[in-house]
Amino acid sequence: MAKPKNVPASTLSTGDLASRTLILDNGAHTIKAGFSSHLTSYQPTPSDCTIIPNCIARSTRDKRTYIGPELTTCLDYGELAYRRPVEKGYVVNWEGEKAIWERSFSNDEGGLGCDPAETNLILTEQPNAPVALQRWTDEMVFEEFGFGAYHRTIGASLNAWAPSPFPSTTDSASGLPVECLLVVDAGYSHTTITPLYHGRPLHNAIRRLDVGEIKEDVCYVSPSLTAFAADLERTWKGGRYDARELDTTVVVDYVLPDYEHIKRGYHRPHDAKVKGGRVLRVDEETGRREHVVTVGNERFTVPELLFTPSDIGMSQTGLCGVILQSIHSLPEGLRQVFLANVIVVGGSGLLPGFVERLDAELRGAVDEDLVVRVARAQDPLKNSWLGSARMAQDEGNLRQRMVMRGEWMEHGEGWVRRRFAGKMGR
Amino acid sequence: MPHIEELPLTAGKAAAPGWSYVPDTGYDPSKAPLNPTTARSKRKYAALVGGDRGDLSLRQQGQAQKLIAELDDDRSRRKIEVPTRKSAAEEKRGARHQTSNVARILKSEKTFVHYLDDEEALLDKQPARPSYNDETPKPAPRASKTPLARRKSTALNIESSASSSPAPAALPQTPMGPPPLPHHLPQPTSKPQSSTSTAQDPSPYALPSDAELEALLSAPPLSYSAAQSAPPPRTDPPPRRFCDVCGYWGRIKCLSCGGRYCGLGCKEAHLQDKCLRWK
């Protein structure tokens, strides 16, 4: 399709929505991307969503640069240098992000095969973004990529349309949001608390905890503070004159992948013969050399940071405290409603013991007559995407939210930003 | 005789009383070291004057910040060149003229910290963020950077502003068109659903009225720093310390540098590698 220069790339006239909607849940670690259409009645499922690493990686071993989806084809993760365009949850480096998006949209292997001119876009961002970054995002989407219609929203607010993980809540029909939801998004950059009312965020009560990025597969969360102390005891080597046995259920040896035989690390109970922290030894069974790292109290002290950031000297309250801060900034009548609908999404939500610990702490911190329900979304990584896909099924929703390229050209970026913040009606 | 008077240079210098209230921390001057030179005596002095909870000195706070920044840094190196190859989409579009804005965005080397600083400078200059509600005539107070939970007046402000929001005028067609409060929710009293009623409900668990909810929903977003979690309250237990070497409880504090360790084995490791006594 040859286009003359200086003509906007969109083939849509103002007021037309394309048939497909691309939903990009743009995270700092990965992009969750997939299509949804308001013209079919197909119910989107998590399998429609592809997870694309949101980084550009350069491998010095095979001298290749992997952009976005290409990273999954990389065989050797050793000595990879990463470059992440998203900092603290916001796209800061558009040069890199543009490359990743273009690669993701292309028809090549691993790409989505998306033509921006014929697709609507729903893009997520983190709350409390600096205004300049929002402006740049709008500019890039319309000018550089040429999407015809676009909606930018806070990622957490899309969870209101996803199927509810609470067993007692009836599933709402596809186009309607859950009434009240308190979203705890424990992601890569930070953890945000967002109360939503009918899918709209209550801005005064959005809080952020700057602890994120806990994705190791040996980590878990201690069930409570006393259990934390007990765990710490079990992983102690003892004093000089009081050597203790390490409890092998907690202390594990993590075998590092060497990408020849072992593609991904795994862990096994600690072997007392492995001395010291990190060791290169010959595995007895297989006779191969392997790097082994003994992981002891790091398994739970690291996730403990989510609940007690003061452990490393951060002067912020932990997750339970910040949820309470968020709730206390709302009028009293709303507090019970939000406490009863706490949903955990995001990568760190997958840690074993996370939900139980949060539930126990919240339960202990609020009055007895308040109901507290905490649940993890069925698929914490893709939940926002799923909610957005279901929301986009309803044409009414799309028409209310989408901003057309023509409108952007006519009214300017300030108007568009106010629209996305929900200030003006159609 | 010409009238001569001294004009005050500073406007707000009211008559100062010459005394003021000072928190009583139990400071005993006889116990304070005369000239704190070693780290140990400095710590003693700091403990006497200020934090009995082991508040960190400025230097320790700086160290903690550095440590956190180091942990925070995900080492994403910007030196990796982005290979510019014409993707299929670009070829399809043909060579398109890039607007100057876009070119500027792509070339910009700013990091997030720059944007944050710009945002805060903007907040300082203006009274408030670009006002979304054109109906508010008076300039809003300067957007504070203190996390909301730290502000003493937060709870009161939100309650009062929510209940006295200018109901009819500021609420045109509801923007996103959520359904009005669904009828199956138990209404506490049989008051009409008009937005003019701002009477306080007798029961504390009653839902706020439509008007209050609308006011909440249309509040502008907070700035990045205002939304951050507040420091833990003073009544919380003091922060837990861990051994710098192995991660167990840091029960013993090094006399020279203040670093923590758990026992004799870790003490040796600390003295060899980590002790900062010469710094």
Considering only residues A213 and B114, tell me which one the structure prediction assigns the higher pLDDT.
B114
DSSP A5: T
- According to DSSP, the residues that pair with A344 across neighbouring strands are A184, A376
Q: For residue A389, what are the contacts with CB-CB under 8 A and spacing of at least 6?
A: A23, A34, A36, A44, A48, A49
Mutation choice for B interface testing from A58, A64, A181, A329 by most B CBs within 10 A: A329
- What percent of chain B stands above pLDDT 70? 50
**From CA A421, how far away is CA A415, in angstroms rounded?**
10
Query: With contacts defined as CB-CB under 8 Å, which chain B residues touch A5?
Result: 94-97
What does the pLDDT read at residue B48? 66
Mutation choice for B interface testing from A143, A169, A369 by most B CBs within 10 A: A143
Burial of B115 (0-12, 13-18, 19+ CB in 10 A): buried
What does the pLDDT read at residue B84? 60
**From CA A185, how far away is CA A319, in angstroms rounded?**
11
| Subunit contact B90:A322, Cβ cutoff 8 A | no
**From CA A253, how far away is CA A260, in angstroms rounded?**
20
CB-nearest partner of A200 from B118, B122, B176: B176
Considering only residues B174 and A320, tell me which one the structure prediction assigns the higher pLDDT.
A320
Q: Are A359 and A323 in contact (CB under 8 A)?
A: no
Is residue B6's pLDDT more than 80? Answer: yes
Strand A200-201 relative to strand A191-197, pairing: antiparallel
pLDDT (tens digit per residue) in A340-353: 889 898 888 888 88
Considering only residues A409 and B187, tell me which one the structure prediction assigns the higher pLDDT.
A409
How many other C-beta atoms can be found within 10 angstroms of the C-beta atom of residue B166? 13
| Subunit contact B229:A325, Cβ cutoff 8 A | yes
| Subunit contact A235:B248, Cβ cutoff 8 A | yes
Position B54, amino acid: G
What does the pLDDT read at residue B50? 57
| Subunit contact A332:B154, Cβ cutoff 8 A | no
Reported as a pLDDT band with limits 50, 70 and 90, residue B162 is very low
Q: At what angle do helices A413-420 and A131-139 cross, to 10 degrees?
A: 110
Q: For residue A34, what are the contacts with CB-CB under 8 A and spacing of at least 6?
A: A22, A23, A44, A48, A49, A50, A112, A385, A389
CB-nearest partner of B224 from A95, A128, A325: A128
Q: Are A327 and A195 in contact (CB under 8 A)?
A: yes
What does the pLDDT read at residue A86? 85
- Provide the whole-model pTM: 0.72
Query: With contacts defined as CB-CB under 8 Å, which chain A residues touch B259?
Result: none
What does the pLDDT read at residue A243? 61
Position A11, amino acid: T
Query: With contacts defined as CB-CB under 8 Å, which chain A residues touch B82?
Result: 56, 65, 67, 95-96, 99
Q: Are A31 and A54 in contact (CB under 8 A)?
A: yes
Query: With contacts defined as CB-CB under 8 Å, which chain A residues touch B158?
Result: 204, 329-331
**From CA B210, how far away is CA A186, in angstroms rounded?**
31
Pick from A40, A32, A80: nearest CA to A60: A80
**From CA B265, how far away is CA B279, in angstroms rounded?**
23
pLDDT (tens digit per residue) in B35-67: 777 777 777 776 666 554 445 566 667 777 777
pLDDT (tens digit per residue) in B190-199: 333 333 333 4
CB-nearest partner of A422 from B75, B204, B218: B218
**From CA A74, how far away is CA B66, in angstroms rounded?**
34
- What's the helix, strand, coil split of chain A in %, to 5? 30, 25, 45
Task: Give the closest-approach CA distance of B2 to chain A in angstroms.
Answer: 57
Is residue B131's pLDDT more than 50? Answer: no
In this prediction the ipTM stands at 0.72
| Subunit contact B76:A84, Cβ cutoff 8 A | yes
Task: Give the closest-approach CA distance of B74 to chain A in angstroms.
Answer: 9
What does the pLDDT read at residue A262? 63
| Subunit contact A139:B107, Cβ cutoff 8 A | no
Q: Which residue of chain B has the CA closest to A425?
A: B175
Strand A403-404 relative to strand A374-376, pairing: unpaired
| Subunit contact B265:A237, Cβ cutoff 8 A | yes
DSSP B273: I
Query: With contacts defined as CB-CB under 8 Å, which chain B residues touch A325?
Result: 148-149, 229-230
Which parts of chain A have pLDDT scores under 70? 1-15, 76, 78, 110, 167-176, 213-227, 229-250, 252-253, 255-265, 271-289, 423-426
| Subunit contact A143:B99, Cβ cutoff 8 A | yes
Query: With contacts defined as CB-CB under 8 Å, which chain B residues touch A330?
Result: 158, 216
**From CA A385, how far away is CA A153, in angstroms rounded?**
12
Considering only residues B12 and B1, tell me which one the structure prediction assigns the higher pLDDT.
B1
Q: Are A227 and B242 in contact (CB under 8 A)?
A: no
